Amino acid sequence: MKSKLYTTTWRLPAGSTETRCGISADTEIAMVVPGAITNAMTVDVEDYFQVSAFENSVRREDWESYPLRVGRNIETILKLFADYGVHATFFVLGWVAERQPEIVKRIAAGGHEIASHGYAHQRVNFQSPDQFRTDVGRARRLLEDITGLPVRGYRAPSFSINGDTPWAFEILAEEGYAYSSSIYPIRHDLYGMPEAPRFPFRPLRGHALLEIPITTFVLGGHNLPCGGGGYFRLLPRNVCHWGIRQVNERERKAAVFYFHPWEIDPEQPRIDGASAKARFRHYTNLKHMRRKLEKTLSRFAWDRMDRVFGLGADGER
């Protein structure tokens, strides 16, 4: 029997355009999802020593000295996804793809979407516009050369597109990207833009580029995280699941969930000199992550970003 389709529409308050923190959003984005809503599963492909939490302990020029573990972790993830019949979007760091292109080919061969995480995992708000253009252009060309497939999506390291970097969207559009998933509308000491729209919006007037934020739910007038990452590891699994159900069942929207390959690797090397705060954020509950992820894969329907949000080959909806 054919699934019933629901069309849900996100609307801004009255008026054709609103600007939040320097980012403008068009009035209406329609999102068509099946009756049993399919959510977007995403993986940020970077290795354990490349995370922003360790940027004061690990110099970028020393990355080559650390043993790579991302390949074996990706193989585990691909097996998990195959076991649960899940296809996902992998936001691949260009530095990793350049050194282990076979990983990228394996991901694409599994029917997953390849998207860009930039090249050097440098936060957008730490770059000039010219540096950012070089980074995202290099990463996209590299990934397309490896797979022979178009790369349409981008996710900023540490969700670092914010009200201070609205120019980043213009550059992404000029560099050929169709969508970004670079905003997490929460409060956090490293990132976050709680005043941004919670659901997909167009940040550029007159351009089709789509921003697809990481999912939050609203409680007591505040946006709370339920889209994966460190919060998923640190908090009880049911908190995230409850939030996703609220978004699916009450708001009739698709959720966006993310995690990293190193989060399923409790045996990864420990970083010397990392602060207690960074160690807590990075290492807590690694040993429980795989089981929590399996429960999440089985509890909800998942697919690639481009299919969940109706993005065609040219980025049109």
Which residues lie below 8 Å from residue 79, measured CB to CB, with a gap of 6+?
Answer: none
Question: What's the distance, CA 178 to chain centroid?
Answer: 14
pLDDT value of residue 34? 45
pLDDT value of residue 187? 77
pLDDT value of residue 171? 98
Strands (E), 163-273: 179-180, 210-211, 216-219, 222-225, 256-259
In the block, residue with structure tokens 């959510």: 39
Closest residue by Cα to residue 132 from 148, 151, 154: 154
Q: Is the Cβ–Cβ distance between 157 and 118 less than 8 Å? A: yes
Closest residue by Cα to residue 246 from 225, 222, 227, 218: 218
Give the CA diameter of the chain.
Answer: 58
pLDDT value of residue 36? 79
* Helix/strand/coil for 211: strand
For the entire predicted model, the pTM comes to 0.87
> Would you give per-residue pLDDT tens digits along the chain (317 residues)?
332 222 333 333 333 334 444 444 443 343 434 467 999 999 999 999 999 889 989 999 999 999 999 999 999 999 999 999 999 999 999 999 999 999 999 999 999 999 999 999 999 999 999 999 999 999 999 999 999 999 999 999 999 999 899 999 999 999 999 999 999 998 766 666 888 999 999 999 989 999 999 999 999 889 999 999 888 999 999 999 999 999 999 999 999 999 999 999 999 999 999 999 999 989 999 999 999 999 999 999 999 999 999 997 444 44
Q: Is the Cβ–Cβ distance between 249 and 242 less than 8 Å? A: no
Tokens of 105: 């080919």
Structural domains in the chain?
5-9+40-51+66-308 (3.20.20.370)
